[in-house]
Amino acid sequence: MPESYRVSVRALCEFTAKTGDLDLRFTPSPTAREGMEGHLAVARRRNEAYQSEIALSGEYDALTVRGRADGYAPDANRLEEVKTFRGDLDLMPANHRALHWAQVKVYGWLMCQRDELEAIELALVYFDIIKQQETLIKESFQASELEAFFKAQCDIFLAWARQEMAHRQARDRAAETLTFPHADFRFGQRPLAEAVYQGAATGRCLLAEAPTGIGKTLGTLFPLVKAMPTQQVDKILFLTAKTPGRRLALDALAQLDQPELRTLELVARDKSCEHPDKACHGDSCPLAQGFYDRLPAARAQAVTEPRLTQSRLRELALSHNICPYYLSQEMTRWSDVIIGDYNYYYDQSAMLYALTTQQQWRTAVLVDEAHNLVERARSMYSARLDQIHFRTTKKQAPKALKKPLEKVHRAWNALNRAQPEDETFIIQSELPDEFGQSLQLATAAITDYLTEHPFALDSDLTQFYFDALQFLRIAELFDEQRFLCDVEWRSPSRGRKGTVVSLRNLIPAEQLKPRFEAALSTTLFSATLKPARYYRDLLGLPTDTVALEMASPFTSDQLAIHIAGDISTRYRDRAASIEPIARLIQEQYQGMPGNYLAFFSSYQYLQQVLEQVQTTYPELPLWVQDRRMSESARQAFLDKFVEGGQGVGFAVLGGVFGEGVDLPGNRLIGAFIATLGLPQVNPVNEALKQRLDEQFGHGYNDTYLYPGLRKVVQAAGRVIRSEQDRGVIHLIDDRFRWKQVKDLLPTWWPTSGD
């Protein structure tokens, strides 16, 4: 067993000193940037002798406790713990204050021990980021008092620490003897696994294009579990864009059959909340009342469970009468493999990234279907506000908020008046200062109001509040090279028109780069990652990232490729393309009946071809993707692709049926792709093209060609799912004959096409 268990001051105190209710009324907390600026503001107010960010550590029995104290004033012999906040400090819950005192008292003892002090003054410095005012709460302590407190916290934690050390040792022993769960690797799976292991061993990022059918999920998880003891990996994070990815990861871990490996599935709060009509505090929600008093028993049981899936964690949490969502947040600290959405690590307020940096975890990250990360990251670091919606919200606001919201209204109208009258979409050269300032004042007022009236706001005003906070957070990151500020006029079906103000992230590299640097290694894998340079540039991957293209288990004789080179699907040619496409679908179906998918660039285009087929070939069985499909409706669409079935499903390229759909055998024997999938030419994409051209020199390809062809390859990939499958793909557009387009298609596809 290891001789010492390392724990941060913050983690120690959160384990030992949190009691009472879960209470989120004193929220939202400042952003990371606001927090750093608040700490700096406090430090600047002190004299030259003031010391900031003091590294401290101490030992007790098997524990090594370490952390960084915020500040020390030698002239006053005062150690300070700085906490930034919004709202009314008097409304801070007592258990929050108790936790802060616990932290500063532990730091106080570590300081006394290091400098051989007999006594010290400790202070909690609460800094209001809106008013830029600080409140100092201080008390003097003898070193002996602080030593006793420190030892008491350590005694509470020691049994847990010994248990965790024993678990780590058992986990690593099991990983050392782990063997691949099947008789042999699939074609291409072994080189993928070896590359992932080497990535962990060398601490490098890997960009792996690996085709469907080789078992990418198992091929990436297995080597990282093997690497846990040799590379001292604390956590494996399996991040995915969609629910099916989580299920595949859970299935792969079940195949590894490692009961010593703790696995946790994370799901969004709105999908795990038991009482969505209640607020997150003990006066409202029964699962928040006494949460921290009942948490230790729930946590102790949870660590005995090797697979904390969403359903199992819910059962366990409810058996202890605590919130499943916040139990899952706690269990991220004590799990070995964590499965969740991209946002848990890559978002601005990402919990797993914050814990990785705070706890100094050695984290190995797997990014499933990584071609989605560019667009997802852009959305994470973007924000928009709709004036028409805001006007309705303002009318419903309580009287106390009328004045600050009216200031937003006036600033918004002033912004509108500054726009050219004949323009409906305007790109701003800089952020509108007056508008931003009015939002700052409004969000501060709503924060104060919420702390006193937690149930008073309706859903629309609450949504505006969170949207405005997001807008202000993104405004802090804004620069003209990587972001776009635009104002767009829109008119509702009735009433006055208004604008939508957007802050759009175009190049998320700067925001994602620290996330890649914080991880021991990151493996991004997908069936479509061409060209590697595109993903390096847009995602901010390290310069030494290794790009690999794994060989496909499929061969060209499994697939027939037909290029309809006499048809153009360009917007100006759409009308002329409808009848030929309908005829092509009918001829293929008539010659080889079975199940097909037909993909189109938009719902409008889909409907035009659909009506033509229904009119001209009414006997052909059809089913159609709707604009807004529920989970059950999506499943009903897929359920029509039965073994031996016959018909054509119409879908939109890039939609829910274009990837992550597995229809092996003759459940799907062919696809029609009536588009190159190129994004729409509009002011936003043209601005994106310009920025990408300026920075990387590939503006058109990065904006239009690569994203479009990626969707084509993903959709076509629904046809061949195993080495036994056979199928046909019709690529409908003359541009599919262009060399620059063919170079982006899978290398195993037959090169000739009619």
Q: What share of the chain is helix, strand, coil (3-state, %, to 5)?
A: 50, 20, 35
According to the model, what pLDDT value does residue 284 have?
Answer: 86
Pick the CATH number of 556-742 from 3.20.20.140, 3.30.310.80, 3.40.50.300, 1.20.120.1150: 3.40.50.300
Q: In which order are the strands placed within the sheet that holds 647-652?
A: 559-563, 727-731, 670-674, 595-600, 647-652, 622-624
Check: CB of residue 391 under 8 Å from CB of residue 492.
no
d(CA 504, CA 517) in angstroms, rounded, equals 24
| Amino acid letter for position 540 | G
d(CA 14, CA 234) in angstroms, rounded, equals 19
Other Cβ atoms closer than 10 A to 507: 25
Looking at domain 5-159, does it have CATH number 3.40.640.10? no
d(CA 732, CA 674) in angstroms, rounded, equals 5
pLDDT digits (tens, 9 = 90+) for 80-137: 999 998 777 887 888 999 999 999 999 999 999 999 999 999 999 999 887 899 999 9
CA dihedral (479, 481, 483, 487) positive or negative: positive
According to the model, what pLDDT value does residue 56 have?
Answer: 97
According to the model, what pLDDT value does residue 454 have?
Answer: 62
According to the model, what pLDDT value does residue 28 have?
Answer: 55
Rounded to 5°, the CA angle 101-103-104 comes to 65
Domain boundaries, the chain: 5-159, 181-379+509-549, 403-505, 556-742
d(CA 271, CA 219) in angstroms, rounded, equals 29
According to the model, what pLDDT value does residue 752 have?
Answer: 52
Cis peptide before 531 (omega within 30 of 0): yes
Positions of E strands within 159-290: 206-209, 235-240, 263-265
According to the model, what pLDDT value does residue 135 have?
Answer: 94
The low-confidence residues of the chain, meaning pLDDT below 50, are: 1
d(CA 520, CA 458) in angstroms, rounded, equals 44
According to the model, what pLDDT value does residue 1 have?
Answer: 44
Beta-carbon contacts of 85 under 8 Å, excluding residues fewer than 6 positions away, are: 26, 29, 30, 92, 126, 127, 128, 129
What's the chain's Rg over C-alpha atoms?
A: 29
CATH class, 181-379+509-549 region: alpha beta
181-379+509-549 with 556-742: one CATH topology?
yes
- Max Cα–Cα distance, the chain, nearest Å: 94
d(CA 291, CA 299) in angstroms, rounded, equals 11
According to the model, what pLDDT value does residue 29 have?
Answer: 66
d(CA 676, CA 671) in angstroms, rounded, equals 14
pTM for this model (two decimals): 0.92
| Amino acid letter for position 465 | Y
Smallest Cα–Cα separation from 381: which of 487, 537, 513, 243?
513
Check: CB of residue 126 under 8 Å from CB of residue 85.
yes
